[in-house]
Amino acid sequence: MELLLTLAPDVRPEETEKIAQKIQNRLKLPAEPDPLKPVRRLRIKDVEDFDGILSKLREEFPEVSRVVIVKHRGRSHDPDRIAARAAKLAKGEILPHHTFAVDARRLDKDLPYTSRDLAVEVGEAVRRATGASVDLDSPDRYVDVHVSRHGYLIGITPATLREPHRSWLPSGTFNHVHVCCERPETEYEIADLIRITAALRLGSLILVEPNRDAVRRAEEKVGASSLIDLRIEGDLREALTGFDVVVGLHPTAPNAESELLRAVEGANQICLLTGSETKGLSREAKELADVLVHLGPTTAEPMRTANAVAYAVGVLAARTVSLRSATAPTLHR
């Protein structure tokens, strides 16, 4: 058996080989940087006692954020061939009563398709081959498909084993939270919003009357743009249609975080409304918001847009953690 270990984002790239050596010495198995992409990714071969190895990883290596059971490696870049191979492998691993999710990674941006394109094609092939249903939030199995210019790998891993340190919120915790930014002007603020939307798996990112050139440059710069629901709208009122509550984030608003929590109580679809970093919310935006909220202590220095979104979602996360901890021993499956 071969395992792929993904290291935590706070591990510096130059530490990859050092951690590989540490794992090799402790587990007495060959560990090396993954040939598809050697940064923060380790390959362990000749694994026989999987349960024992996983137990040691949990206890001794907090740097390891994810474990993938690798079923196959190949040289092709063709998504059709990769999807067909994944479907063939899945037949013996995923049963009709199981649910699954595909985690596709395009490790080199010069490949002529996106991670989402690959995930959709592989998912459809696996669904047809197994009869299993897709569940992006709480699947029984993960199908990992990673492709670089050096080839590809396919992994199929039970969800309960894939992440050794599993005190995390479920991946779909915030898919009912959306971000709407009014007239963003710069590449960096749009890129930051794309990143935070992808990182927190928010429901969507809506840009109202943005600088189109800045949007294009941000999408080219940030690969995560292919992983989110990104919408461009020309009318603010129309963009906000369909949300149960719209929370405007504004540095001089009279209300604090407690009002944010009160406003979203019981809401199914929440929109965090922000303005550009240069102009803030317009008068129209303030009027359309159900509530205006100031985040953090009193200060003359407003937050950057993405920071304000992250802060607001953090407030919602604290509330979620508090509610879950009162009813369940763990936060994640």
For residue 211, give every residue at least 6 positions away whose Cβ sits within 8 Å of its Cβ, in sequence order, or none. 184, 185, 186, 190
pLDDT at 156 over 80: yes
Q: How far is CA 197 from CA 82, 138, 256, in A?
A: 28, 19, 23
Residues 6+ apart with CB under 8 A from 153: 4, 36, 70, 72, 73, 74, 144, 145, 146
Over residues 280-332, the pLDDT tens digits come to 899 999 999 999 999 988 765 778 999 999 999 999 988 876 655 444 444 33
Cα separations in angstroms, 309 against 163, 215, 295, 324: 27, 18, 10, 22
Give me the phi and psi of 238, to 5 degrees please: -65, -40
User: How many other C-beta atoms can be found within 10 angstroms of the C-beta atom of residue 232?
Assistant: 13
**Does 110 have pLDDT greater than 90?**
no
Give the pLDDT of residue 278.
87
Pairing of strands 31-33, 41-44: antiparallel
pLDDT value for 326: 44
Distance, C-alpha 113 to centroid of its chain: 19
Q: What is the pLDDT of residues 213-252, one digit of tens each?
A: 999 999 988 877 777 899 999 999 999 999 999 999 998 8
Answer whether 156's CB lies under 8 Å from 146's CB. no
Task: Please compute the mean of the pLDDT values over residues 110-130 and round it to a whole number.
Answer: 93
> Which pLDDT does position 333 carry in this prediction?
33
Q: How far apart are CA 96 and CA 30, in angstroms?
A: 36
pLDDT at 166 over 70: no
Mean pLDDT of 105-127: 92
Query: Distance of CA 144 to CAs 78, 82, 218, Å?
Result: 16, 11, 27
- The predicted pLDDT at position 98 comes to 92
* Residues 78-87 pLDDT 10s: 999 999 999 9
Tokens of 112: 């002529």
How do residues 248-289 score in pLDDT, each as one tens digit? 999 888 899 999 999 999 899 999 999 998 888 999 999 999
Sheet of 2-7, strand order: 31-33, 41-44, 2-7, 64-74, 151-158, 141-148, 99-106, 133-134
Question: What are the tens digits of pLDDT across the range 8-57?
Answer: 888 888 899 999 999 889 888 888 999 999 889 999 988 888 888 888 88
Question: In 10 A of CB 262, how many CB atoms?
Answer: 10
What per-residue confidence (pLDDT) applies to 164?
Answer: 59
pLDDT value, residue 169: 67
